[in-house]
Amino acid sequence: MSGEREGMIEIPDAVHSPEVSASPSPDDLSPLAIDTKLVERWLVEFLRSEIGRRRFEKVVVGLSGGVDSSLTATLCRRALGADAVKGFLLPYRTSSRESRDHALLLADGQGIETREIDITDAVDGYAERFEPGMSDHRRGNVAARERMIVLFDQAAKLDALPVGTGNKSERLLGYFTWHADDTPPINPLGDLFKVQVWELARAIGVPEKIVEKPASADLIHGQTDEEDLGVNYAEADLILHHLLSGYPADQLAELGFDPAKIDVVRKRLEGTHWKRHLPTVPMLSSTAIGEWYLRPVDY
């Protein structure tokens, strides 16, 4: 990264705890433990560096009232100061009152200015006029993309950079709307599993009622992430960690992991790989963007 790394802290080989069990166990979460002070420091410096690299001084964050956006906004405030962070509440008609209350609780505690823009008319205007009978799943995807339309437009208005809030678990499981949740150009939580997000959020003071509540996209009434996935995050994160570390699915089953849950996680991991990349381009030259044309930072 040459001179672009000036002012950055030196990160060790890993911010994860070196205490890893010799043999994976479904009851051993130690491989997911993190040094919260180091991770916080690293992510704050990451935000300062990457926002400055793009020559921005302000950011916008969509505040859902959930732990991911709350942690992201808190990190942005620590990196840039409260005046440089603008939080946007983007409710749909099925969004819960609790989500709004929690978003405001976080913003007030961090001194972050907020604005609320209801996306119901925009989403339903399309759905009711052109796609009556649209399924809840499709409507949820439209709403997620509408939220990102608003966030990017407000960023343009404020000369600010949109900051993403997606965690590593959602990204690896494909549990996000393509060209919506994972769209912002920088994402400080992108290499933190959900259980690590919870751990870091507690450590830096995100209100406990936000950390403790069930994770939900808040687009369908009563929906929760773990019900959709069919596996809880602690189980999924541990399976993902070991799969990515090279353990075959059949070996994890022999070690006591639930075969059905391994299968759920593995199929989602393998079946959503395309969602973690830019559009696939056929290479016709030696300068194909994203294939051969790379900057040093891309490596």
* Phi/psi of residue 250, nearest 5 degrees: -65, -30
Model's pTM, two decimal places? 0.88
Closest listed residue to residue 200, CA positions, set 209, 184, 211: 211
Q: What is the CATH number of the domain that holds 219?
A: 3.40.50.620
* Tens-place pLDDT, residues 111-127: 999 999 999 999 999 99
- Are 274 and 280 spatial neighbours (Cβ–Cβ below 8 Å)? yes
- Are 61 and 88 spatial neighbours (Cβ–Cβ below 8 Å)? yes
d(CA 133, CA 215): 27
**Count of all residues that appear for the chain in the document:** 299
Residue range(s) defining the domain that contains residue 213: 2-298
Average pLDDT of span 41-51: 97
Which of 22-26, 262-266, 284-288 is most confident?
A: 262-266
- Are 73 and 63 spatial neighbours (Cβ–Cβ below 8 Å)? yes
143: CB partners within 8 A, 6+ apart? 92, 119, 123, 219
The yes-or-no verdict on residue 79 having pLDDT over 50 is yes
The yes-or-no verdict on residue 1 having pLDDT over 50 is no
**What is the number of domains present in the chain?**
1
* Tens-place pLDDT, residues 84-111: 999 999 999 999 999 999 999 999 999 9
9: CB partners within 8 A, 6+ apart? 41, 42, 45
pLDDT of residue 280: 77
Pairing verdict, β 161-162 and 113-116: unpaired
